[in-house]
Structure 1
């Protein structure tokens, strides 16, 4: 039986060890590498092209959310399963919108991790039931979400980097695009969200779970 390769990205060795034990109990999975920072994760995924990346949303004090499009570009066949302590539905919405295949809270990992990994391998999207209920409730109570949904993955990435304090020049370097392209994305985000100032953009990013 062919085995599905897995990379585990978490900055806590004990958590990685726990995930390794859980996934290794299933013969369908083979842990090929682990990482603890965003740059290391990008490098590891590029090298191993794993079937699944189990990704924490915070690595060494840095949000890994903006890196999801880069990880998928480096390894298009990889399915990203976010495993996090972030219970805010905005994080789940943002992660799934920019390419994650699943979202699971660490508190449920022991019971659901293997099943979630199996689901995303099959091409399905996995959202922990409790988180799905919170997301549905949040969407029902949040007017104006139709406009938010029109943000593209790249626009969400630019918004996240702006919220983290990066300048247009720095964003251009990180995304390997021109400053003019960043300015265009920023203008589109501003128009879609109805924001004018950088402070308003940062507030909007936080509403999306990107700050």
Structure 2
């Protein structure tokens, strides 16, 4: 029986080592590559066509959320399992909408990583129970429909950074894009949520459960 190939993508060597140790304890997995940046991850996935990609949401200051569709394009058979410290339900929703097969918080990795990897490798979806409960609670209060559902992964990311108090320039530097690009995304978010000012935008996002 062939082993399930895995690529581990995280910019912290200690975390990668921990994941490698955990997954290697199961002989059905074979770690074929480890990466620490989004571009390197795209290259590794394209080269190895792994069964599973364990992917951090942020590597070397760059979000991996927008790269999920590209990763699926270069390797359609790869199942993506997000492993992150990001507890905001909006990010879990955005990752799953973008094509990720699973979402797991790093705090639970030791207990759940192997099982989650098997689940997604078999074609299933894995959502950590605690995160699933948060998503369900948010949807009960403000179901994700209408304009909310039209926000892209990048728009959700920028929205979260705006809510954290970052300026357009700071967001641009953090995401490695131009200030004009951030301004364009911000304008689209305002249009979709029907707001004008920054305060109105953030308030509307919180009311809709987009910021957790």
Same fold (TM over 0.5): yes
- Cα distance, 1:60–1:201 mapped onto 2, change above 3 Å: farther
Q: CA RMSD in A?
A: 2.9
Matched residue, 1:91 = 91
Structure 1 position 33, deviation (Å): 0.1
- Cα distance, 1:133–1:26 mapped onto 2, change above 3 Å: same
In 2, Cα distance between equivalents of 1:29 and 1:133: 29
Structure 1 position 194, deviation (Å): 2.9
2:96 is the counterpart of 1:100: no
- Cα distance, 1:20–1:130 mapped onto 2, change above 3 Å: same
In 1, Cα distance between equivalents of 2:97 and 2:179: 23
Structure 1 position 91, deviation (Å): 1.1
- Cα distance, 1:71–1:197 mapped onto 2, change above 3 Å: farther
Structure 1 position 193, deviation (Å): 3.3
- Cα distance, 1:102–1:149 mapped onto 2, change above 3 Å: farther
Matched residue, 1:7 = 7
Unpaired runs of 5+ residues, structure 2, are 160-170
Unpaired runs of 5+ residues, structure 1, are 172-182
Assess if the C-alpha contact under 8 Å between 2:11 and 2:59 holds in 1.
Answer: yes
In 1, Cα distance between equivalents of 2:73 and 2:188: 23
Larger CA deviation: 199-208 vs 81-90: 199-208
Structure 1 position 27, deviation (Å): 1.3
Assess if the C-alpha contact under 8 Å between 2:87 and 2:131 holds in 1.
Answer: yes
2:130 is the counterpart of 1:134: no
Larger CA deviation: 190-199 vs 56-65: 190-199
In 2, Cα distance between equivalents of 1:57 and 1:20: 18
Structure 1 position 145, deviation (Å): 2.2
- Cα distance, 1:167–1:60 mapped onto 2, change above 3 Å: closer
Matched residue, 1:156 = 152
In 2, Cα distance between equivalents of 1:186 and 1:91: 17
Structure 1 position 161, deviation (Å): 7.7
In 1, Cα distance between equivalents of 2:110 and 2:19: 8
Output aligned runs, 1:32-71, within 5 Å: 32-71=32-71
Give the number of aligned pairs. 193
Matched residue, 2:145 = 146
- Cα distance, 1:88–1:188 mapped onto 2, change above 3 Å: closer
Matched residue, 2:111 = 111
Structure 1 position 208, deviation (Å): 4.4
In 1, Cα distance between equivalents of 2:8 and 2:32: 9
TM normalised by structure 1 equals 0.78
- Cα distance, 1:119–1:37 mapped onto 2, change above 3 Å: same
